[in-house]
Amino acid sequence: MSSSTVIRDARPEDAPRLLEIYAYYVEHTAVSFEYDVPTLAEFENRVRNTAARYPYLVAVRNGRTLGYAYAGPFVGRAAYRCSCELTVYLDRAARGGGLGRMLYEALEERLRTRGICNLYACIGWPDAEDEYLTKDSAAFHERLGFAKVGEFHRCACKFGRRYGMIWMEKIIGPTM
pLDDT(3) > 70: no
What is the model's pLDDT at position 44?
96
Residue 147 lies in a domain: yes
Residue 176 lies in a domain: no
Return the CATH number at 104. Answer: 3.40.630.30
Nearest to 68 by CA among 3, 146, 10, 5: 10
Residue type, 66: L
Over residues 39-45, mean pLDDT: 96
CB neighbour class for 175 (10 Å; exposed up to 12, middle 13-18, buried from 19): exposed
Residue 90 lies in a domain: yes
Residue 102 lies in a domain: yes
What is the model's pLDDT at position 176?
65
Total domains, the chain = 1
Query: Which alpha helices (DSSP H) does 52-175 contain, by range?
Result: 99-113, 136-143
Residue type, 20: E
Residue 78 lies in a domain: yes
- CA distances to 19, 33, 36, 102 from 2, rounded to whole Å, are 24, 32, 34, 11
For residue 39, the 8-state DSSP code is P
pLDDT(1) > 60: no
Q: pLDDT (tens digit, 9 = 90+) per residue, 43-76?
A: 999 999 999 999 999 999 999 999 999 999 998 8
| Least confident residue range of 39-48, 74-83, 163-172 | 74-83
Q: pLDDT (tens digit, 9 = 90+) per residue, 92-146?
A: 988 888 999 999 999 999 999 999 999 999 999 999 999 999 999 999 999 999 9
The residue segments making up the domain with residue 100 are 5-171
Half-sphere exposure of 101 (CA within 13 A, CB side): 10
In terms of DSSP bridges, do strands 118-125 and 83-90 run parallel, antiparallel, or are they unpaired? Answer: parallel
Predicted TM-score of the model (pTM): 0.93
